[in-house]
Amino acid sequence: MRNMIRLSGAARAVKSLNNKRGMEMVQVAILVAIAVAIGIIFKTEITDFVNETFKNLDASKF
């Protein structure tokens, strides 16, 4: 009977570990979605900034 309890505890530990990994994946997915949304929202501003930066670098013969 004690072996069954230990096995059950080990099974719970493995399940808990898998649950934490799943939560980490959800967090990463949310952060990626936020980054993509910000990129889409500020696409023109980002493009203008990059173009202006490279134009200035080219003008300074960097």
- For 13-46, how does the pLDDT look when each residue is reduced to its tens digit (9 = 90+)? 666 666 777 889 999 999 999 999 999 999 999 9
Q: Which domain holds residue 54?
A: 24-62
Tokens of 3: 């072996």
Within a domain: 6: no
Asked whether residue 57 is domain-assigned, the answer is yes
Is residue 59 assigned to a domain? yes
Local structure of 55: helix, strand or coil: helix
Domain-located, residue 5:
no
50 assigned to some structural domain:
yes
Pick the more confident residue, 11 or 2: 11
Q: Flag whether pLDDT at 59 surpasses 80.
A: yes
- Terminus-to-terminus CA distance in the chain, angstroms? 75
**pTM (2 d.p.):** 0.53
**Does residue 56 lie within any of the structural domains?**
yes
Number of domains in the chain: 1
**Residue 33 located in a structural domain:** yes
d(CA 13, CA 18): 9
Query: Inter-axis angle of helices 2-41 and 43-59, to 10 degrees?
Result: 70
Return the pLDDT at 31: 97
Q: Is 48 part of a structural domain of the chain?
A: yes
Compute the C-alpha angle 29/30/36, nearest 5°: 90
